[in-house]
Amino acid sequence: MRYRIAVIPGDGVGPEVVEEGVKVLTAAGDAYGVRFDFKFYPFGGDYYLEHGEVLPDSALKELEGADAIYLGAIGHPRVAPGVLEKGLLLRLRFHFDQYVNLRPVRLYPGVETPLRGKGPGDIAFYVVRENTEDFYVGVGGRFKGESHRAGLEVNRRLYRLRFSLDVAVQGAPGEVAYQLGIATRRGVERVVRYAFELCKRKGLRRVTSVDKANVLGDVYGLWREVFSEVARDYEGVEAEFAFVDAAAMWFVKNPERFQVVVTPNMFGDILTDLGAMIQGGLGLAPGGNINPGGVSMFEPIHGSAPKYAGQGVINPIAAIWAGQMMLSHLGEEAAAEAVDRAIGQVLREGKTLTKDLGGSSSTSQVGDAIAAKIH
Ligand code: IPM
Ligand code: MG
């Protein structure tokens, strides 16, 4: 098969790790008869500084024609926080309705985890992070002085939501800021169903909903209700609830209890950085922004790490693994399995590792070593 892959290397170390990912994908393609037409796009901090625009609409349209998007990292020291995150990464996730953020948390044999007494058998689960709702929808506001009331009124009508902010406004009119977390029945249903389907497909037995329904009862009350409804369609799969604070503790104390975790956007963001640490660090943590019926996007979950850019010291495995997830998503299972085996071999042998894993090899040496193991 032949695929059009839109590549956005991005900022900082993004281009270095993406280069290794492309190298490994090409090797896997050669071995398994998969062809890629990679098309590179220059978006990121430098592009924004030069053109004053993060992502032109015309480019977004063009990306619609891709079979998948492969992204490096974004974040630039001379661009204010939020501009690129919202203008590029979140815009792509929302535009393409990539409602699943799939983040495997798996410890490869040979990699050390900071969790004492835990091994690869204990750290092997999937986090299915909802990717289009919750506190990421960007509904909020800030009001000061006289504009409080007007602002609240507008928003109240606009979103038909109840606010208990009146008290704050009447009592001590200072500045008020709020941000809303949104859950929709359809939005929860589709991501929860994806989690249960994944559980079945992988031959696993348990799906854990991680939420905070004990405090944020409206938004996560709906979440729980829908989770329970969907769970009824999956006899034989154990469905359980955990509050996010307890889940954070169990990620460290009993990671073996987790098989598939499904969780709202923001909790998923936080938990998957924790997940990355228990699987050996951010250098080993990939993610897929998935729309099962649309254009999906694969990326390492680490950032652009500008401080290390251009030095060839960053671990490319998160990006290579993200490429592996892309292969699997495209239905190229044999090639995907070959990449997974190759990563596993290089990690187990422990001869070609970057500094984060205690080695002294360069980014491209690790990419070469993995590519060379693919048959
Ligand atoms: C992630 C990142 C992003 C997020 C940021 C960069 C917007 O932290 O992919 O986890 O919060 O989703
Ligand atoms: Mg994050």
Q: Which CATH superfamily is domain 1-106+282-375 in?
A: Isopropylmalate Dehydrogenase (3.40.718.10)
Distance 55 CA to ligand 1 centre (A): 17
**Ligand 1 atom having least distance to the Cα of 75:** 6
SS (H, E, C) the chain: CEEEEEEEEECCCHHHHHHHHHHHHHHHHHHHCCEEEEEECCCCHHHHHHHCCCCCHHHHHHHCCCCEEEEEECCCCCCCCCHHHHHHHHHHHHHCCCCEEEEEEECCCCCCCCCCCCCCCCCEEEEEEECCCEHHHCCEEEEECCHHHHHHHHHHHHHCCCCCCHHHHHHCCCEEEEECCECCHHHHHHHHHHHHHHHHHCCCCEEEEEECCCCCCCHHHHHHHHHHHHHCCCCCCEEEEEEHHHHHHHHHHCHHHCCEEEECHHHHHHHHHHHHHHCCCHHHCEEEEECCCCCEEEEECCCCCHHHCCCCCCCCHHHHHHHHHHHHHCCCHHHHHHHHHHHHHHHHHCCCCCHHHCCCCCHHHHHHHHHHCCC
Distance 169 CA to ligand 2 centre (A): 33
Q: From first to last of the 375 residues of the chain, give the pLDDT tens digit.
A: 999 999 999 999 999 999 999 999 999 999 999 999 999 999 999 999 999 999 999 999 999 999 999 999 999 999 999 999 999 999 999 999 999 999 999 999 999 999 999 999 999 999 999 999 999 998 887 776 555 566 666 666 555 545 555 555 555 556 777 888 999 999 999 999 999 999 999 999 999 999 999 999 999 999 999 999 999 999 999 999 999 999 999 999 999 999 999 999 999 999 999 999 999 999 999 999 999 999 999 999 999 999 999 999 999 999 999 999 999 999 999 999 999 999 999 999 999 999 999 999 999 999 999 999 998
**Active site residues per annotation:** 136, 212, 245, 269, 273
**Ligand 1 atom having least distance to the Cα of 89:** 7
Residues with CB under 6 A from ligand 1: 85, 89-90, 269, 301
Q: What is the pLDDT of residues 97-152, one digit of tens each?
A: 999 999 999 999 999 999 999 999 999 999 999 999 999 998 887 776 555 566 66
| Residue 144 confidence (pLDDT) | 66
What does the domain layout of the chain look like in residue ranges? Answer: 1-106+282-375, 113-136+182-279, 139-179
- Atom 8, ligand 1: residue with shortest CA distance: 269
- Give, for ligand 1, the residue of 89, 267, 272 to mutate: max count of ligand atoms closer than 8 Å to Cβ: 89
Domain 1-106+282-375 matches domain 113-136+182-279 at the CATH topology level: no
Kindly report the average pLDDT of the chain as a whole number. Answer: 94
| Residue 140 confidence (pLDDT) | 83
Query: CATH for 113-136+182-279?
Result: 3.40.50
